[in-house]
Amino acid sequence: MTIDAPVHPSPAAADAPSPTGGLPPARPVDRIALAVLLVGTAVLYLWNITINGSANTFYAGAAWAGSKSWEALFFGSIDPSNFITVDKPPVSQWVMGLSGRIFGYSSASLLIPEALMGVATVALVYAAVTRLAGRGAGLVAGTAMALTPVAVMMFRFDNPDAAMVLLMTVAAYCTVRATASASGRWLALAGVAVGFAFLAKMLEGLMVLPALGLVYLIAAPTTLRRRIVHLLVATVAMIAAAGWYVLVTIAWPASSRPYIAGSTDNSFMNLVLGYNGLQRIEGKEHAGNAAQRSVMNSPLTHELMQRFSHAGGGHRGGMFSENPGITRLFQGEFGVEISWLLPAALVALVVGLVLRGRAPRTDPTRVGFILFGTWLLVDGIVLSYMKSNPHPYYSLAIAPPIAALVGLGVAQCVRDRHRITAVIGGAAIVAAAGGWSFVLMRRDPTWQSWLSWTVAVLTVVAVLTIVVIGLAGESSSRVGRRTGLAVAAIAALIGLAGIAAPAAYSAEVVATPHTGGSPSADPTTEDRAHSQHDTGGFASFFGGTTSAPSELTRALQATHTRWAAAVSRSSTAAGLELSTRTPIMAIGGFTGSDPAPTLAQFQRYVADGDIGYYISTGSTGDRSRGGSSATSALGLDPSQADQAAQLLRRFESGGVTGQIQEWVQSHYTGHTIGSYTVYDLRAPSH
């Protein structure tokens, strides 16, 4: 009698996805690997996170206000006395404001929730891809997501992008679950997540929607009629999840709530469809009246925008990035923040669809390629051709699909390694990742030049190894059976070739303070905040300061008025709030062009004793002091600096800021405190 040896599944078989999209069984090594991924991500994102201070003071001010006032928290107001909101919906402010209410406002209470949202996003990318293509694919995707420079930067920052991308990823994960089992409940949850993504950053949060609808319509294992019904129900869920807040802003009397910043008529939908909607895509300036729009569209203004964007050198691109076009995501700051694995993801998409071309309609791996490929293409094309103020950090929205496609593509090529298409495709994915990393790093060869050549060598060796082993496996069944071990032996080499460069940039992001309106992940560029420490002049549109002279701080803290002071623009107001811990009225919103308050309203506030001081930062009226450091940072000569000052004067004089400044100067006497001119509105001089 003979006893057969026990048969154990191969590692590849154990890691294969379930035919119905279920979660593959977890081995001890899988649990350890997942723990390393998530703990490592948490350490990376949380390490010395308070180095970023209040990060973007514009949103930090709203978080502080929310920690003091429930109404400010609900609406996302800049100040706890609820004059005006930030120019985005309040979901992100809800998270940071609640953290401040529980733990007290601080840099840690502001930023730690952002980092935890990043860890959750990595976990969801892992979970979604694991259900589609196995745990190996999930680990590759999760690692790629965790080490993407823009993700490391923005999950340690206070902009609303972190909350939006987490919710978009939740929606993708729920759709994976829904598509696997034709579950209307999971699809409705995906709709709810998209609705709240809309409440995080409006239309940008909806960019994932075509991918979710398409993949369910194509691949859910049920009848076409039922798929359509489920999609309609999910659409209703999405509208309800977003619409309740819109209805509240409509029903709440405008006189007793803060002004909706960025809108021209104090309505939420005007903000959605205008300033934060189609005007961004079409490149139409939203600012104020015709005179203000002419200033914003002037050649000198565009030149100043580009100078501000390019200040500091490095890879270039900066705040307003490159011109619209299909190559935008590969150039300038966009390239450094997001494009490291973008070529590899595009190659993986093509290779994956080819390899799964004959799979059944409901095939879970092909579902993944369709879902994340559509998300990447739709969102990427919008980012590429967006004409108005496309900040490079917006690219965080395509980090999850890029990471997922790389994980799906690598796993599929390993699984089909007996096919020549998979061998060539796998080699192409690695070549695209390592080759493009080399190109990006050589754009500035002065930063860690050894790393670029190391990546190049590792990439060549990895590609040759994949091809040689793959072809050998094709020609010999014996070698083919050993291919799994060979692939495992070179996995570390391949990983280093594809991820070493973005990992190095991510480590530098963690070590570098990032503050201001448009942080940069480029280690060769001095942080953009260097132009934002001066509250006067051109740069004050984008940052603000969290420091104020002690004399001014004492004066504001001694007031007992509803607003300690009023000042032009939200970033400056938020910075003064964080410095003095007093409520500051932000006249004109983010750019100073919002029609709030009118001159008559401001005069009524003053007459009622609601405002203690008016503060001029030097950007309106007297230009002898304001903006000098900002224009110096932009590299402007005296003539250009004077032109910039004139532009600001023209811009603000045409709106409420100029009208209010003129009235204050004609009725009150100002005195200088540091770089500010301060007017005591409780003591008229005329």
Domain assignment of residue 585, yes or no? yes
Task: Give pLDDT, residue 517.
Answer: 82
> Are 373 and 230 in a shared domain?
yes
Task: Give pLDDT, residue 387.
Answer: 76
Task: Give pLDDT, residue 628.
Answer: 47
| Structural domains in the chain (count) | 2
Domain assignment of residue 455, yes or no? no
> Are 408 and 549 in a shared domain?
no
Higher pLDDT, 418 or 160: 160
Return the top range by mean pLDDT from 259-273, 299-313, 499-513. 499-513
Domain assignment of residue 566, yes or no? yes
Query: Is a pLDDT exceeding 70 seen at residue 313?
Result: no
DSSP code at position 278: I
Of the pLDDT bands very low, low, confident and very high (cuts 50, 70, 90), residue 684 is confident
- Do residues 618 and 625 lie in contact, with contact meaning Cβ atoms separated by under 8 Å? yes
Query: Is a pLDDT exceeding 90 seen at residue 293?
Result: no
Average model confidence (pLDDT) across the chain:
84
Q: How far is CA 243 from CA 235, 238, 398, 412, 422, in A?
A: 12, 8, 25, 40, 46
> Are 411 and 558 in a shared domain?
no
Query: Is a pLDDT exceeding 90 seen at residue 630?
Result: no
* Closest alpha carbon to 525 in 340, 305, 332, 315: 315
Within 13 Å, how many C-alpha atoms sit on residue 397's CB side?
35
**What secondary structure does DSSP assign to 348-400, as a single string?**
HHHHHHHHTTTS-TT-HHHHHHHHHHHHHHHHHHHHHH--S---GGGGGGGHH
Domain assignment of residue 449, yes or no? no
Asked if residue 597 has a cis previous peptide bond (ω within 30° of 0), the answer is yes
3-class secondary-structure state, position 107: helix
pLDDT tens per residue across span 17-58: 666 556 778 889 999 999 999 999 999 999 999 999 999 999
Higher pLDDT, 298 or 253: 253
| Spacing of C-alpha 6 from chain mean position | 51
Domain assignment of residue 116, yes or no? yes
Written as one letter, the residue type at 438 is F
Q: Which of 416, 449, 471 is the last residue of a domain?
A: 416
Of the pLDDT bands very low, low, confident and very high (cuts 50, 70, 90), residue 528 is very low
Task: Give pLDDT, residue 639.
Answer: 66
Query: Is a pLDDT exceeding 90 seen at residue 200?
Result: yes
Task: Give pLDDT, residue 493.
Answer: 65
Domain assignment of residue 488, yes or no? no
- Do residues 207 and 378 lie in contact, with contact meaning Cβ atoms separated by under 8 Å? yes
- Do residues 160 and 528 lie in contact, with contact meaning Cβ atoms separated by under 8 Å? no
Helices H / strands E in the chain, number of each: 30, 5
Average pLDDT over every residue of 85-102: 95
Written as one letter, the residue type at 240 is A
Query: Is a pLDDT exceeding 90 seen at residue 668?
Result: yes
Average pLDDT over every residue of 244-258: 93
Average pLDDT over every residue of 419-444: 92
Average pLDDT over every residue of 331-357: 95
Task: Give pLDDT, residue 685.
Answer: 66
Percentage of the chain beyond pLDDT 90 is 61
Domain assignment of residue 369, yes or no? yes
Higher pLDDT, 482 or 335: 335
Q: Which segment of 328-337, 505-514, 623-632 scores lowest on mean pLDDT?
A: 623-632
Average pLDDT over every residue of 199-222: 95
Written as one letter, the residue type at 595 is P
Residue 173 and residue 167: Cα distance in Å, rounded? 10
Q: Which segment of 3-7, 360-364, 579-583 scores lowest on mean pLDDT?
A: 3-7
* Closest alpha carbon to 129 in 120, 138, 121: 138
Tokens of 451: 């790393």
Average pLDDT over every residue of 102-111: 96
CB atoms near residue 445 (< 10 Å): 11
3-class secondary-structure state, position 275: helix
Query: Is a pLDDT exceeding 90 seen at residue 9?
Result: no
* Closest alpha carbon to 261 in 94, 75, 538: 75
Q: Which of 395, 416, 437 is the last residue of a domain?
A: 416
Task: Give pLDDT, residue 497.
Answer: 75
Task: Give pLDDT, residue 5.
Answer: 38
Domain assignment of residue 515, yes or no? no
Average pLDDT over every residue of 138-147: 96
Task: Give pLDDT, residue 85.
Answer: 95
Q: Which of 393, 416, 439 is the last residue of a domain?
A: 416
Read off the pTM. 0.88
* Closest alpha carbon to 274 in 667, 266, 25: 266
Q: Please give the residue range of the domain that contains residue 602.
A: 532-680
pLDDT tens per residue across span 254-291: 989 999 998 888 888 877 776 655 565 555 555 555 55
DSSP code at position 523: T
pLDDT tens per residue across span 433-477: 999 999 999 988 888 888 889 999 989 988 888 888 877 765 554
